[in-house]
């Protein structure tokens, strides 16, 4: 077994569902990113305007970088909220994924250091200017769908991605030769028309942006429907997600309080109750004031 195979096997033993490795180099995506920014599709996410060169080339982010080890961790829930309750994207059901994925990547780095003690590296999970989906596709984990998400054949797209960038040369995987083909379901079904063209999302019209990233009031002309934190529509309609299976990560199991959280409770929640319920959850990013705003918009939608 090669060292790369051992690393991938160890990643699976940590609970990751897929692992692949590619060479750290320029992605060649800089022009696409600049064009997307020129259209102002990033909205309030001004951090995307910074570190464009680092985002394109991970060697500028991690000096000495040779390889990118990409991992994916399933978050498809076993038990779901009643669809009549206010909508939370599946990824927000359990403990904040940043901690869970990074903790596992830390263990993966420690394992590599037992093989190559001189290994240095940094690990990321939605936490730095890293083109996560691009590198995951390059490392053969899956392909990027027209909804811009990574689709893993036989598993779907309800996955967190993480990367370990190291100063070791390793054996590299090949991208897989698959695509959406003629399917256009996510573009047709997106409630706000945010997927303007295949692989082109106007984030400012996306419900995830409106309910999580937007700083002030939501835009009146973007109907966020029943969602109060994120949106899963373009994944739920994707035929590749008929392969989704419930995750095996205990940290992602939702509490009974979260599963039954209703509109009335959300409307009357005070800061202490919000902080207690979402203490270890990604939902706390929205803050109570953001959740109150999202609930107001949902009520507007229901009253229409």
Q: Where do contacts with ligand SF4 occur on this chain (CB under 6 A)?
A: 145-147, 180, 183-186, 190-192, 194-195, 201, 206-208, 231, 233-234, 237-240
Q: What is the largest CA-CA distance in the chain?
A: 62
Choose between 131 and 201: whose C-beta lies nearer to ligand SF4: 201
Task: List C-alpha distances in Å: 209 to 24, 66, 83, 293.
Answer: 30, 33, 21, 13
Choose between 14 and 236: whose C-beta lies nearer to ligand SF4: 236
CB of 210 to ligand SF4, least distance (A): 8
- Give the catalytic positions in this structure: 126
- Return the SS3 of 69: strand
Choose between 168 and 192: whose C-beta lies nearer to ligand SF4: 192
User: 54, exposed or middle or buried, with CB in 10 Å at 0-12, 13-18, 19+?
Assistant: middle
Q: Are 237 and 68 in contact (CB under 8 A)?
A: no
Q: Are 230 and 212 in contact (CB under 8 A)?
A: yes
- Return the SS3 of 176: coil
Choose between 122 and 205: whose C-beta lies nearer to ligand SF4: 205
CB of 243 to ligand SF4, least distance (A): 12
- Return the SS3 of 32: helix
CB of 230 to ligand SF4, least distance (A): 7
CB of 88 to ligand SF4, least distance (A): 13
Q: Are 54 and 61 in contact (CB under 8 A)?
A: yes
Strands 67-74 and 18-23 come out as antiparallel
């Amino acid at each position: 077994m090669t060292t790369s195979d051992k690393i991938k096997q160890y990643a699976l033993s940590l609970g990751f569902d897929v692992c692949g490795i590619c060479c750290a180099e320029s992605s060649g995506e800089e022009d696409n990113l600049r064009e997307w920014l020129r259209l102002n599709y990033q909205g309030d996410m001004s951090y995307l305007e910074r570190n464009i060169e680092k985002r394109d080339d991970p060697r500028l982010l991690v000096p000495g970088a040779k390889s990118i080890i990409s991992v994916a961790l399933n978050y498809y829930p076993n038990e779901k909220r009643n669809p009549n309750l206010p909508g939370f994207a599946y990824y927000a059901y359990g403990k904040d994924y940043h901690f869970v994925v990074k903790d596992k990547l830390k263990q993966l780095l420690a394992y590599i250091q037992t093989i190559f003690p001189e290994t240095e590296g940094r690990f990321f999970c939605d936490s730095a200017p890293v083109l996560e989906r691009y590198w995951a596709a390059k490392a053969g984990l899956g392909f990027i769908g027209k909804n811009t998400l990574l689709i893993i054949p036989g598993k779907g797209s309800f996955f967190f991605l993480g990367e370990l960038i190291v100063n070791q040369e390793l054996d590299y995987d090949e991208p897989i030769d698959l695509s959406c083909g003629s399917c256009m379901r996510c573009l047709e079904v997106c409630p706000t028309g945010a997927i303007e063209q295949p692989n082109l999302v106007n984030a400012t019209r996306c419900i995830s942006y409106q309910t999580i990233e937007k700083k002030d009031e939501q835009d009146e002309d973007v109907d966020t429907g029943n969602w109060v934190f994120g949106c899963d529509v373009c994944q739920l309609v994707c035929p590749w997600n008929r392969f989704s299976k419930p995750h095996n990560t205990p940290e992602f199991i939702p509490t009974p309080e979260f599963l039954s959280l209703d509109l009335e409770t959300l409307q009357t929640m005070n800061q202490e109750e919000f902080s207690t319920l979402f203490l270890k959850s990604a939902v706390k990013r929205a803050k109570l004031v953001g959740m109150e705003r999202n609930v107001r918009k949902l009520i507007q939608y229901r009253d229409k």
